[in-house]
Amino acid sequence: MTKEALRKIYRAKRNELSESEFLQMSRQLSDRFFLAIDLSFIKVVHVYLPIESKKEPNTWLIVERIRREFSHIRLSIPRVKGEVMENIFFEGLHQLEKNRWGILEPKRGVPTPSEKIDLAVVPLLAFDKQGHRVGYGKGFYDRFLKECRPDCQKVGLSMFDPENQSIETNEHDVLLSLCITPTKEYKF
């Protein structure tokens, strides 16, 4: 199945979720994230901020818990500048504003060098059992992940189980290390 067809299917599946299903699944994803990943030696975590209108998993649950319980970790969040995604250390809500797509991003802050990132939480619409992901099609995350160290953990969060068939790929695609669903983790 093509990536475009999968985008359409999984956008529709997300839209069909009731508010209570969405909230429960986001909480399960967050809980499972902290069970699946040992954050003891992680120094910098990149995490996307959710697009609420697209019912992306609520990563604020992860951000808030890391800030509360893992003071040794610095958080980095994305900002789109032209065709490039920059990473900025997260200082607090005062730093954020909505961009042209309605996504919260830092209006200012200290840039995060990609090679300093130990773990990247990446958005996706679908994934397969080999670790390929389908994003929104702009390539921001694939370009960013290629700049990260090879040992950087690349973690996807998905509301749904993997596709049984392999997703089409190209030379720009970067594999996930792990994908977390509300009920299971998939390691690649």
Q: What is the pLDDT of residues 80-124, one digit of tens each?
A: 888 889 999 999 999 999 988 778 999 999 999 999 999 999 999
**What is the tens place of the pLDDT at every residue in 149-178?**
999 999 999 999 999 988 988 888 999 999
pLDDT of residue 6: 95
46 in Cβ contact with 119 (< 8 Å)? yes
SS3 content of the chain, % helix, strand, coil (to 5): 30, 25, 45
In the predicted structure, residue 46 carries a pLDDT above the cut 80: yes
pLDDT digits (tens, 9 = 90+) for 5-31: 999 999 999 999 999 999 999 999 999
Q: Does position 35 have pLDDT exceeding 80, yes or no?
A: yes
Distance CA 65, CA 158 (A): 19
Residue 139 confidence (pLDDT): 86
pTM above 0.85, yes or no: yes
Q: Taking all residues of the chain, what is their mean pLDDT, rounded to a whole number?
A: 95
pLDDT at position 131: 96
CATH 2.30.42.10 fits 3-187, yes or no: no
For 169, the 3-state DSSP assignment is coil
